[in-house]
Amino acid sequence: MSLVIHSTYTNYTYSVDVFVPEVDCPKEGYPIIYVLDGLSYFDFAKKTMELQSKNMRKTKVNPSIVVGIQHEKETMRSRRFYDFTAPALKYTYPKRMHGKEPEAVGGAIDFHLFIEKELKPLIYDHYAVNVKDETLFGHSLGGYYALWNLFHHSRDFKTYIALSPSIWWNDYELVTMAEKIIADDGHHHTLFIGVGELEDFMVTDAQAMYEKLKAYGLNIAFYEALDENHASVVPTVMSRAFRFISGGNE
């Protein structure tokens, strides 16, 4: 099923694709995974879920609904920088971005409201969802947003997947935000952080974030995919991440 939603919070129109597993619905409803950058990753996430959940006894992947949130192809780069980054009084960009600085940033709060106030209610109206078993998946800036959401709105999702998260964004502001996660409900959440071996400084960043959050009592996993880069890490690690959030910890 495909939906088109114009958000009053972000003033942007999103395409949303939905995959529902062909198995009997559990009495509590299906688990659900919301996939950011759906234009790039929904089809792969759908096929991964479809194949792995068919042999759940061996794969340990629970059949789940997959929802892909898509930006328009023509505006995807600029809207990702807006939707996935937090508001701040000042933004600092690394030298490697010289000449490529985004025009608009800091829309994470509005994007959060879109998901919570507009997208989720629509999904709940159409599908039987286990609201106690919801996952947010993000890669790169989407991984940054997944961590930001965990740090600021931890009740939104039970589980978070952050692949190659852009922890470097705005002079590593996520590191400071992470220190505020010591909330009463923080240690009830599950987080999977993955990164490719060839992603240079992002490997060190992800490892440091894992070590920091592990001390807070989360059910957390870290995986470094050998010989993988920023583009190849998602298809390599997605199945492992889905297995982990389903409880199939290795």
Residues identified as active-site: 140, 199, 230
| Number of helices and strands in the chain (H, E) | 9, 8
Cα–Cα distances in angstroms (integers) from residue 164 to residues 4, 49, 52, 188, 217, in the given order: 28, 21, 23, 23, 22
Contact in structure between 69 and 179 (CB atoms under 8 Å): no
SS3 122: helix
Contact in structure between 14 and 5 (CB atoms under 8 Å): yes
SS3 26: coil
Cα–Cα distances in angstroms (integers) from residue 236 to residues 125, 166, 176, in the given order: 33, 18, 30
Contact in structure between 193 and 206 (CB atoms under 8 Å): yes
Distance CA 85, CA 148 (A): 8
